[in-house]
Amino acid sequence: MAEDPGAFAEDPDAFTIEPSPSGRLLCGGCAPHDVCRLGVEIAEARDDAVRFEVVCPPFWHGGPGVAHGGWTAAVFDDALNIVALRIEPRLVTKSLAVRYLRPVPVGRPMDLLARIERHSGRRWEVSAEMTLTGTPLATARAELRTRRPHHFARHEAWLARRSPSPNGPHAES
Ligand SMILES: CCCCCCCCCCCC(=O)SCCNC(=O)CCNC(=O)[C@H](O)C(C)(C)COP(=O)(O)OP(=O)(O)OC[C@H]1O[C@@H](n2cnc3c(N)ncnc32)[C@H](O)[C@@H]1OP(=O)(O)O
């Protein structure tokens, strides 16, 4: 994220994922660290597909030596957005479906290939596969949306309307 935090506070819709000082594309949470704390690195990028090397850090384990399913889903969310973010920088995930085919090992480099399946207007359909030495471990499909203008400002306004009020806990929707 290259934005000046002050500018972001004034205009939340200015937020886009931009290369970090070391050239990485990182989410807002990892940008200050200049490293992806999920263990995702872009290995090769083409127009409609991106290949990643992913390694599950030990603190994301769910069982002995095995990744937490939430790690796998978060990695897919990043990768599926990155493949489209290179064309459209203002995206959100509308839906994400993961198929867990085999346990995912911790600490082993794996391949993840993400591609754009379809794109029309604000709608993006993307898919990805995570493999270990060629064997699929998990697959995912997602539907992304190009953000409407004022997406984050609209969210903030909606949230403000839900602040506890003297009339009770249920604010307007
Ligand atoms: C190497 C490492 C890489 C690292 C690289 C890092 C990449 C990071 C990528 C992370 C990507 C994400 O996870 S993004 C975060 C997860 N996704 C989200 O937060 C999206 C949340 N959902 C939404 O904002 C919305 O549902 C949309 C925009 C998806 C819906 O779009 P839509 O299908 O066009 O529908 P639309 O009619 O606009 O809206 C449907 C309903 O949602 C409401 N709505 C829509 N937008 C808003 C809004 N901003 N604030 C409040 N409410 C909203 C509408 O009033 C409506 O309510 P009603 O009329 O039904 O009442």
Q: Which residues pair with 32 in a beta bridge?
A: none
91/108 Cα distance (integer angstroms): 30
Tell me the CATH number at 87: 3.10.129.10
- Tens digit of pLDDT at every position of the chain (173 positions): 333 434 445 677 778 888 888 888 898 889 989 999 999 999 999 989 999 999 999 999 999 999 999 999 999 999 999 999 989 999 999 999 999 999 999 999 999 999 999 999 999 999 999 999 999 999 999 999 999 999 999 999 999 999 876 565 554 55
Distance CA 36, CA 81 (A): 14
Q: Is the residue at 173 inside a domain?
A: no
Establish whether residue 112 lines the binding site of ligand 1, counting it when its CB lies within 6 angstroms of any ligand atom: no
Q: Does 75 sit in the ligand 1 pocket, CB within 6 Å?
A: no
In a domain, 51, yes or no: yes
Distance, in Å, from the CA atom of 170 to the CA atom of 150, rounded to the nearest integer, reads 25
Atom of ligand 1 nearest to the CA of 79: 3
- From 36, 88, 94, 112, the mutation candidate for ligand 1 (largest count of ligand atoms within 8 A of CB) is 94
27 in any annotated domain? no
Q: Specify the number of domains making up the chain.
A: 1
Radius of gyration of the chain (CA): 18
